[in-house]
Homo-oligomer: A and B are copies of this chain.
């Protein structure tokens, strides 16, 4: 995808900052490399599944590297440390994590813990003077999101929520087509994302997860409707349900369907579930045509199709994991180096959390 300077400023005006396009990101990195700037050092907090994507992602950047690990499993941490040339002195436990303040090799942390722990470790990292890249969902409550933003502000560190899709070429391509008017006036969006969850996952524990599929995967559809329209919903209504009484859903919902109305009049219908495999997608309907991205929210295999005004697009994205993690790390490191505000700051995560709370309220779920 080629984006011109004018495209960038349009995207910027619509909340998708200009410097997010992958080409631009590469250009940034090259500049960094040429300038011989020191790479941003990350401490990874939580060595679970997603950290296993982020860490290799940083290897492909020119401005980011893993310099410390935080884990409750020393064996695992030692193995990974060897792989990334991290000295034993830069391996922390959750108990001695605050000592990270004294580690000059750590500029930032990547918070890859269960949702309910995001707030605590974001705030502790801020107090230790480290910038914070925090996984989505930002936290398990609006109040926690607000505390995280305040803590980072007070410590004068940057806070970015790891919304991969904001830095992902196919999602950006969809946004650009819409902004350029390819679809004419957008009328409606449909989106879904879900999976059939296995028993025993921490995601089914409300205290750790905050809620069910809406927190975990539905948030992608919610966030997508916002970046696709460039608007904030002014009305939201929702239904939730538990159909399978098999022990998995004692604490969190199984299904949520919600509808949003945006100020322009665009309507969006989203569904999420932990009871069925539901490949993430969005479809946008406009007066001149439609656009659909399948596998829109996963690490690879994204596919854009569109038909408008006699044009037919069929664009599979050949990029492979961990390219999306590379892009988000590159962006955050660049922001730290240049003093720019990240494109998906804490306020972006807070907004989604506010909408999630509204969806739950509408569906009659206590939060």
Task: Report A's interface with B, CB cutoff 8 A.
Answer: 184-185, 187-188, 190, 192, 194, 196, 235, 237-244, 254-261, 264-271, 273, 275-278, 285-287, 289-290, 362
Are A194 and B285 closer than 8 Å at their CB atoms? yes
A317 to B84, CA, bound (A): 56
Question: In chain B, what residue has the closest Cβ to A242?
Answer: B265
| A234 to B: closest C-beta gap in Å | 10
Question: Complex: how many Å from CA A261 to CA B268?
Answer: 17
In the complex the two chains form, what is the Cα distance from A269 to B268 in whole Å? 9
Instruction: Name 25 interchain pairs, CB-CB below 8 A, sorted by A.
Output: A184-B276, A187-B194, A187-B255, A187-B275, A187-B276, A188-B192, A188-B257, A188-B271, A188-B276, A190-B190, A196-B287, A237-B259, A237-B362, A238-B259, A239-B261, A241-B261, A244-B287, A257-B259, A257-B267, A257-B268, A258-B259, A259-B269, A269-B271, A275-B287, A277-B290
- Give A365 Cβ to nearest chain B Cβ, in Å: 13
Q: How far is the CA of A285 from the CA of B271 in the complex (A)?
A: 10
Instruction: For A188, list chain B residues within 8 Å (CB).
Output: 192, 194, 255, 257, 271, 273, 276, 278
CB distance from A174 to the nearest CB of B (A): 16
Residues on B with beta carbons closer than 8 Å to the beta carbon of A270: 269
Q: Which one of B241, B278, B362 lies within 8 Å of A266 (CB-CB)?
A: B241
A240, B290: Cα distance in complex, Å? 20
Closest chain B residue to A188, Cβ basis: B271
Chain B residues positioned under 8 Å from A285 (CB to CB): 192, 194, 271, 273, 276-278
Chain B residues with Cβ under 8 A from A258's Cβ? Answer: 259
Contact at B190–A254, with CB atoms within 8 Å? no
CB distance from A162 to the nearest CB of B (A): 27
**Chain B residues within an 8 Å CB radius of A269:** 190, 257, 259, 269-271
**Other 9 A-B pairs with CB < 8 A, given A237-B362, A257-B261:** A185-B243, A187-B254, A187-B275, A188-B273, A239-B261, A243-B265, A255-B266, A277-B290, A278-B285
Closest Cβ of chain B to A220, distance in Å, is 15
Give the residues in chain B near A242, CB-CB below 8 Å.
265
A270 to B192, CA, bound (A): 12
Q: Which residue of B lies closest to A268 (CB)?
A: B257
CA distance A242 to B266 in the complex (A): 9
- Bound together, the chains give a CA A362 to CA B267 distance in angstroms of 14
Residue with the greatest number of chain B CB neighbours at <10 A, chosen from A184, A241, A242, A256: A241
A191 to chain B, nearest CB (A): 9
A268, A277, A285, most chain B CB atoms within 10 A? A285
In the complex, are the beta carbons of A265 and B241 less than 8 A apart?
Answer: yes
Contacts A190-B271, A239-B259, A259-B259 given; does A277 touch B289 at CB 8 Å: yes
For residue A273, give the distance in angstroms from its CB to the closest CB of chain B.
5
A235 to B276, CA, bound (A): 22
B187 and A190 form a contact (CB under 8 A): no
Q: Which chain B residue has the least Cβ–Cβ distance from A273? A: B187
With both beta carbons as reference points, the residue of chain B lying nearest to A264 in the complex is identified as B243
With A192-B190, A276-B287, A287-B196 as given contacts, are A241 and B259 in contact (CB-CB < 8 Å)? no
Chain B contacts for A286, CB-based, 8 A: 276
A285 to chain B, nearest CB (A): 4
Q: Which residues of B contact A266 (CB under 8 A)?
A: 241, 243, 255
